[in-house]
Structure 1
Amino acid sequence: MLDRRLQLHLATWLGQWPAPAGLHVVASQRRAQPAWDGRLRPALAVDTGQSAVLSVAPDRVAAIRALARREPDQLLPALPAAVGTPDWCVHDGPFRWSLAPAPLPDVGEWIAPTAPDLPPWVRLFDRPVLVVRDADGNYLAGVGIKRHDAYGQELAVGTVAAAQGRGLARRLVAQAARRVLDEGAVPTYLHERDNQASARVADAAGFPDRGWRAYGVYPR
Structure 2
Amino acid sequence: MTSPERRLVEHLTRWLGTWPATTGLDIIAEPGRALPGWDGLLHPVLGVAGPAGGVLSVPPVHAETIAARYAENQDLAHFGPLVPAMAGFPERGWFTAVYRWTTRPAPLADAGVWVPAQDPAVPEWLRPFNGDVLVAHDPETGEHLAGVGIKRHDDYGRELAVVTAPAARGRGLARGLVAQAARRVLDEGGIPTYMHSPDNLASASVAEAAGFADAGWTAFGATEQATQRKTAG
Q: TM class, shorter-chain normalised? A: over 0.9
Match of 2:108 among 85, 104, 109: 104
How far has the Cα of 1:197 moved from its partner? Answer: 0.5
Residue by residue, what CA displacement relative to the aligned partner does 1:11-54 show, whole Å, maximum 9, x if unpaired?
Answer: 11110111223111001111100100011111111111231110
Secondary structure at the residue paired with 2:162?
strand
Alignment correspondent of 1:53: 55
Residue by residue, what CA displacement relative to the aligned partner does 1:55-85 show, whole Å, maximum 9, x if unpaired?
Answer: 1111120121122123333222112212222
CA RMSD after TM alignment: 1.6
Partners of 2:54 and 2:195 in 1: how far apart? Answer: 16
Match of 1:40 among 39, 42, 45: 42
Alignment correspondent of 1:202: 207
Alignment correspondent of 1:137: 142
Alignment correspondent of 1:177: 182
Partners of 1:65 and 1:2 in 2: how far apart? Answer: 32
Match of 1:70 among 69, 72, 87: 72
Unaligned stretches of 5+ in structure 1? none
Secondary structure at the residue paired with 1:99?
coil
Closer/same/farther in 2, CA of residues 155 and 2 from structure 1, 3 Å limit: closer
Residue by residue, what CA displacement relative to the aligned partner does 1:109-161 show, whole Å, maximum 9, x if unpaired?
Answer: 11122223544331111211000112222221100111111122111111111
Alignment correspondent of 1:116: 120
Would you say 1:155 and 2:160 are equivalent positions?
yes
Alignment correspondent of 2:17: 15
Using the size of structure 1 for normalisation, the TM-score is: 0.94
The answer to whether the Cα contact below 8 Å between 2:130 and 2:150 also exists between their aligned partners in 1 is no
Secondary structure at the residue paired with 2:127?
helix
Alignment correspondent of 2:230: none
Partners of 1:133 and 1:90 in 2: how far apart? Answer: 35
Using the size of structure 2 for normalisation, the TM-score is: 0.89
Closer/same/farther in 2, CA of residues 21 and 72 from structure 1, 3 Å limit: closer
How many residue pairs were aligned?
220
